[in-house]
Amino acid sequence: MQYTKQTDRCKLVSLFCNSFVTTFIKKVDILYTEESLILMNFKYERGNNMNTKILKVISIISILLILFISGCENDLLNKNDKAIYEALEGTIAAPTDDDSVKLIQKFRSIVESNNEPYTLVQFIDENIKETTGDKATAMVILLEEAQKKHIQKYTDELFIEDNQMELLKLSGTELFFAEENIENIQNLKLRELVERIINGKYRLINIEGGFYPIIDYEKLKEYNLYITEEMKEYINVKSFNSNRPVLLDGEITIPFNEIEERLVKTEKYIQKYPQGIKFEDALREYADYLRVYMEGAPNSPIYEYENNQIKDEVLNSYKHIAKDDTLMTSKIISRYLEIIEENENIIDESVLSKVPRLLSEAVAILENIK
Residues 83/142, Cβ–Cβ less than 8 Å: yes
Most confident of 14-18, 170-174, 221-225: 221-225
pLDDT in tens, 67-82: 443 343 333 233 334 4
pLDDT of residue 368: 92
Residues 263/329, Cβ–Cβ less than 8 Å: yes
pLDDT in tens, 127-179: 998 887 888 999 999 999 999 999 999 999 999 999 999 999 999 889 999 99
Helix (H, G, I), strand (E, B) or coil at 143: helix
**Residue 202 bridge partners (DSSP):** 215
- Cα dihedral sign, 230-233-237-240: positive
Residue type, 190: L
**Residue 201 bridge partners (DSSP):** none
More confident residue, 229 or 87: 229
pLDDT of residue 250: 92
Pairwise CA distance, residues 64 & 92, whole Å: 10
Q: Binning pLDDT at 50, 70 and 90, where does residue 54 land? A: very low
Q: How far is CA 328 from the centre of its chain?
A: 20
Is a pLDDT exceeding 60 seen at residue 33? no
Q: What's the helix, strand, coil split of the chain in %, to 5?
A: 65, 10, 30
More confident residue, 1 or 130: 130
- Worst-scoring range by mean pLDDT, 6-15, 326-335, 350-359? 6-15
Give whole-number Cα distances, 156 to 83, 151, 183, 191, 211, in Å: 22, 9, 22, 15, 11
Is a pLDDT exceeding 80 seen at residue 189? yes
Pairwise CA distance, residues 318 & 334, whole Å: 8
What is the mean pLDDT of the segment spanning 92-104? 60
pLDDT of residue 341: 97
pLDDT of residue 118: 98
pLDDT of residue 105: 80
DSSP string, 105-119: HHHHHHHHTT--HHH
pLDDT of residue 24: 39
Residues 10/76, Cβ–Cβ less than 8 Å: no
For the entire predicted model, the pTM comes to: 0.75
Query: Phi/psi at 73 (nearest 5 deg)?
Result: -100, -25
Is a pLDDT exceeding 90 seen at residue 207? yes
pLDDT of residue 11: 40
E strand intervals along the chain: 37-39, 42-44, 202-207, 210-215, 247-248, 251-252, 296-297, 300-301
pLDDT of residue 101: 66
Calculate what percentage of the chain has a pLDDT beyond 90. Answer: 65
Nearby residues of 125 by Cβ (< 8 Å), 6 or more positions away: none
pLDDT in tens, 258-271: 999 999 999 999 99
Considering the chain, what is the average pLDDT of its residues? 80
Calculate what percentage of the chain has a pLDDT beyond 70. Answer: 73
Pairwise CA distance, residues 171 & 178, whole Å: 7
Q: How far is CA 13 from the centre of its chain?
A: 28
